[in-house]
Amino acid sequence: MKRAILTLATLALIAVPMFGQDGGTKKTGDPFFGEHRLGETFNEWLAVFHLDVGAACVAKTPEAVKFLAEIEDPDARGPSLCRALVDIQSRPNDDWMFNTANNTTWRVSNGNISQITVTNYLEHTTTGLQIAFLTQEYGTPFRFKTVTFQNGSGATWQCPEVTWRLANGAEIKAGEYIAAEAGNNRAFQVRFTSPELMKTLATHR
């Protein structure tokens, strides 16, 4: 996936296209988010960031700490990124979630990146444009629906939610929602889920 999808400077209001329910699939391999591949191992994830957990979080060498600071979420709550990375390395077969900069959440399952979620808080809606980028990359969506959100004052918003299903079983879901954590403003979120995690989630429904 092109990084520009989530870092758009253009703030044009574009109508969201209506897609059919049974779209085709353009991509057959694992999706990419920047240099990261959905399904890559945790060690591959660290290598992309040139991150040595021992050096950054235990020895705290200046260069390693610098690399860590570049990806750490300054607003993250809960355990530090160092704590999360050390825990994952010590128990890689458990299920983990942690945050990095730019409102990105990573999920690690059985030692692999099984889910990537990116949230972009919007001053002006760019949803149509971002969905168009995703459609260009992954083909006609599998499903389109409209979700209604309502705040405490009774105001309602109609927000699109679009789903792509790839040939290998991976899923990409993108859409708007009303973010209470951002003052009930619109947010656009993209979530990539690996085939393995899709199977696991299906068995727990």
Task: Taking residues 169-180, report their average pLDDT.
Answer: 89
Q: Which residues of 159-193 are buried (b: 16+ CB within 10 A; e: fewer)?
A: bbbbbbbbebebbbbbbbebbeeeeeebbbbbbbb
Domain that residue 106 falls in: 3-203
pTM of the model: 0.81
Highest mean pLDDT among 52-66, 144-158, 179-193: 52-66
Question: Which pLDDT does position 22 carry in this prediction?
Answer: 47
- CA torsion sign for 156, 157, 158, 161 is negative
Total of domains in the chain: 1
Question: Which pLDDT does position 11 carry in this prediction?
Answer: 24
Question: Which is more confidently placed, 123 or 165?
Answer: 165
Q: Per residue in 38-97, pLDDT tens?
A: 999 999 999 998 899 999 998 999 989 888 988 988 777 667 899 999 999 999 889 999
Question: Which pLDDT does position 75 carry in this prediction?
Answer: 75
What is the spatial distance between Cα 10 and Cα 21, in angstroms, rounded to a whole number? 29
Residue with tokens 């994830």: 45
Highest mean pLDDT among 2-6, 59-63, 182-186: 59-63
β-partners of residue 100 are 104
Question: Which pLDDT does position 195 carry in this prediction?
Answer: 95
